[in-house]
Amino acid sequence: MLTAKFLPPLVILAVILSCASTPPAGRETPLTSNPQVESQMKELEASKRVGEMNGQLLMRVLSSRQESERDYKIGPEDLIEISVFEDEKLNRTVRVSSEGNVSLPLLGPVMVKGLTSNQLEKEIRDLLMEKYFQDPHVSVFIKEFHSQQVSVIGAVDKPGVYSFMGHKTVLDALAMAGGLTGKGDDAAGQLLFLIRPLDREEEQTNKEKEPNDNKNPRTFLIDLEDLLVKGDLTLNLPLQHGDIINVPVSGKIFVGGEVRSPGGFQLRGKKVTVTQAVAMAGGLNPKAAGAETRIFRYSEKSSGKEVLTADVYAIQKGNKEDIYLKENDIVIVPKSGTKTVLSEIWELIKGKAYVGFTGGL
């Protein structure tokens, strides 16, 4: 039993220990509010997410490859073998011309470009039935595929230009490029852009419709988590010769058009507004139409893009509220007097912004 004379020292000791173990009021900093810790946690989450997507990538490629071969569309320079069981004299092994057709006995020139082997079998059978056979049996086999090339850039392990034979898809291209990167500032983001230049026929059609705007490519947006994790294979688009696949790094915004230093800029957990993004890009050029600045924002569900308008001049004067940007937003400042800003997106990708947009390749 403790005596009364020992109580004061014990009480004092308890108070000292209590004070030593309890941070002073107002000086405690929660772990989650530390910017450095938050940044590290986000990097770990991004790395884990990319690792999961890479794991799914191999599985999706293997599961979709057999189906995609059946859907291959015949193109110029392919070598195809055509057999008609009712008459061996009609059998031919022919190479598709640059115009996309082949010349066959009895039938003459037949357009085959864009058809699958099954569709071509039906096409030839129907043509033969019109004049020569009651119920012909036709077989089409693609012996050689024309070598095609696609470019894979951005946050992938092995960016570059890849040649391939036959039918390939977005998943195949990602696999050829070694999968997505998942480290630090180079970690892949959630979106993939498939940029497809127009072919000669489309260019001619566009030139007739819009003589002053016939060189813009088509751009397809793919949510990588929907494709790889959720398994939405409708996003696994077939590739064509000349396609460009760009996987921007995580946490970036992109600024292009009439700014002094267009490119991609890392958010690093910060909140950035339109005017701040323009400043990061070196400010506006003299010919810039700052009042017509556009923000292209893609939805998380890949249901399309939202286009916002910002008047940089009015914001700078305090007459309008600044707009906060989100990850993967694309800010385009057009030239004064232009009718459209769509061509500026292409300039962002292929022009001075190439290094920034592709993650520093």
Q: What is the pLDDT of residues 167-201, one digit of tens each?
A: 789 999 999 999 888 776 678 888 888 888 876 55
Q: How confident is the model at residue 319 (pLDDT cuts 50, 70, 90)?
A: very high
Rounded CA separation 264/250 (Å): 11
In the predicted structure, residue 314 carries a pLDDT above the cut 90: yes
Predicted pLDDT of residue 154 = 87
- Element counts in the chain: helices (H) and strands (E): 10, 15
Residue 290's alpha-carbon distances to 86, 253, 344, in angstroms, are: 70, 18, 14
Predicted pLDDT of residue 81 = 92
Predicted pLDDT of residue 48 = 63
Task: Read off the amino acid at residue 235.
Answer: L
The tokens for 156 are: 């992938």
In the predicted structure, residue 284 carries a pLDDT above the cut 90: yes
Q: How confident is the model at residue 324 (pLDDT cuts 50, 70, 90)?
A: very high
Rounded CA separation 321/312 (Å): 10
Rounded CA separation 307/324 (Å): 14
CA angle 105, 107, 110 (to 5 degrees): 110
| Portion of the chain with pLDDT greater than 90, in percent | 23
Q: How confident is the model at residue 302 (pLDDT cuts 50, 70, 90)?
A: very low
Task: Read off the amino acid at residue 58.
Answer: L
Lowest mean pLDDT among 31-40, 213-222, 234-243, 259-268: 31-40
In the predicted structure, residue 335 carries a pLDDT above the cut 60: yes
The tokens for 302 are: 């890949």
pLDDT greater at residue 357 or residue 136:
136
Cβ atoms < 10 Å from Cβ of 112: 26
Length of the chain: 361
Residues 261-266: what's their mean pLDDT? 83
Residues 285-298: what's their mean pLDDT? 89
The tokens for 235 are: 């996003």
Is residue 274 within 8 Å of residue 296, measured between CB atoms?
A: no
Predicted pLDDT of residue 310 = 95
pLDDT in tens, 103-143: 999 899 999 988 888 899 999 999 999 988 888 899 998 88
Q: Domains in the chain and their CATH numbers?
A: 40-47+147-250 (3.10.560.10), 79-144 (3.30.1950.10), 251-361 (3.10.560.10)
Q: How confident is the model at residue 11 (pLDDT cuts 50, 70, 90)?
A: very low
Q: Which residues on neighbouring strands pair with residue 193, listed in sequence order?
A: 221, 246
pLDDT in tens, 203-256: 455 555 554 444 456 778 788 888 888 888 888 998 888 899 988 888 888 888
The whole-chain average pLDDT of the chain stands at 75
- Three-class secondary structure of residue 251 per DSSP: coil
Predicted pLDDT of residue 309 = 93
Rounded CA separation 188/225 (Å): 11
Task: Match 């057009």 to its residue by tokens.
Answer: 334
Task: Read off the amino acid at residue 306.
Answer: E
Predicted pLDDT of residue 32 = 46
What is the DSSP secondary-structure string of 130-197?
HHT-SS--EEEEEEEPPEEEEEEEESBSS-EEEEEES--BHHHHHHHTTSB--SGGG-B-SEEEEEE-
Is residue 136 within 8 Å of residue 86, measured between CB atoms?
A: yes
Residues 343-351: what's their mean pLDDT? 51
CB within 8 Å of 156: residues ≥ 6 apart: 174, 177, 178, 179, 180, 181, 188, 247
Is residue 201 within 8 Å of residue 208, measured between CB atoms?
A: no
Lowest mean pLDDT among 52-61, 87-96, 105-114, 294-303: 52-61
Residue from 156, 172, 300, 191 nearest 236 by CA: 172
Predicted pLDDT of residue 308 = 92
Q: How confident is the model at residue 80 (pLDDT cuts 50, 70, 90)?
A: very high
Residues 149-168: what's their mean pLDDT? 86
Q: What is the pTM of this model?
A: 0.50
- Three-class secondary structure of residue 267 per DSSP: coil
Is residue 280 within 8 Å of residue 270, measured between CB atoms?
A: no
